[in-house]
Amino acid sequence: MLEKDAEAETESSTTNAAKQTVCDAAIRCFQQYGPQRTSMADIADEAGISRKTLYRLFDDRPTLIEHILNQRLNEMGAGVKSRLRQFKTIEDALIEGSIESVAAGRQDKLFSEIVREDTNHRVEQFMFRGTDTVRKNMMKIWSPVLEEGRKHDLVRNDLTNERIVDLIQNVHALLFIRDDYGDNDQRAFLKDFLLPAILKVRNP
């Protein structure tokens, strides 16, 4: 039994390493040719593997792209989580933290290029729905903020943290796509839309 577990763990580790090799090759191709002009054949050649092997690792091109976007979002999230601690109020955390989250995505040139230029509808769906990994990381980022707000009776009782994080994710995706919005436009939108959706109405 232990031998089988060890074999399975070794196989999983080998597969993950192979996937990372492919992702690294894909990123190099995207940077050289652009995401739209890069084919799976280009990526296979860059990774030094056959297309058959590539398709065993990733079912199709959108699946590979989602995997890369997922990795980059996780890296961005780690930076945003550390910065959320600096805000003294939940309002500031939700507004300014959201602006910083959107800025992190916009500043990642490859991430922005894939989202804006890839014509596959799955990329748009990924931005709004994410993946289980993205949702878990979003929960890790925002749950401390929400729990602190709940201690002070500021967060709506009828919404779970999971539902609120879903709202935050969708608003961030919308703001990312609205590249005509500057910081002040985003700030006004978040104040008018996100805060009332999450926080209790305060008595004057």
CATH number for the domain spanning 76: value is: 1.10.357.10
Kindly state whether residues 68 and 36 are assigned to the same domain.
no
Kindly state whether residues 48 and 107 are assigned to the same domain.
no
* Domain around 156: 61-204
Of 32, 58, 84, the position where a domain reaches its end is: 58
Highest mean pLDDT among 1-15, 69-83, 165-179, 184-198: 184-198
Kindly state whether residues 136 and 111 are assigned to the same domain.
yes
Kindly state whether residues 83 and 41 are assigned to the same domain.
no
Q: What is the DSSP letter of 37?
A: T
pTM: 0.79
Please list, in sequence order, all residues whose beta carbon lies within 8 angstroms of the beta carbon of residue 143, skipping any fewer than 6 positions away: 161, 165
Kindly state whether residues 88 and 128 are assigned to the same domain.
yes
- pLDDT tier for residue 121 given thresholds of 50, 70 and 90: low
Give the mean pLDDT of the chain: 88
Give the chain's largest Cα–Cα span: 67
Kindly state whether residues 103 and 41 are assigned to the same domain.
no
Please list, in sequence order, all residues whose beta carbon lies within 8 angstroms of the beta carbon of residue 42, skipping any fewer than 6 positions away: 29, 33
In single-letter form, the type of residue at position 55 comes to Y
Average confidence (pLDDT) over 59-74 = 91
In single-letter form, the type of residue at position 199 comes to L
pLDDT at 10: 56
Please list, in sequence order, all residues whose beta carbon lies within 8 angstroms of the beta carbon of residue 144, skipping any fewer than 6 positions away: 84
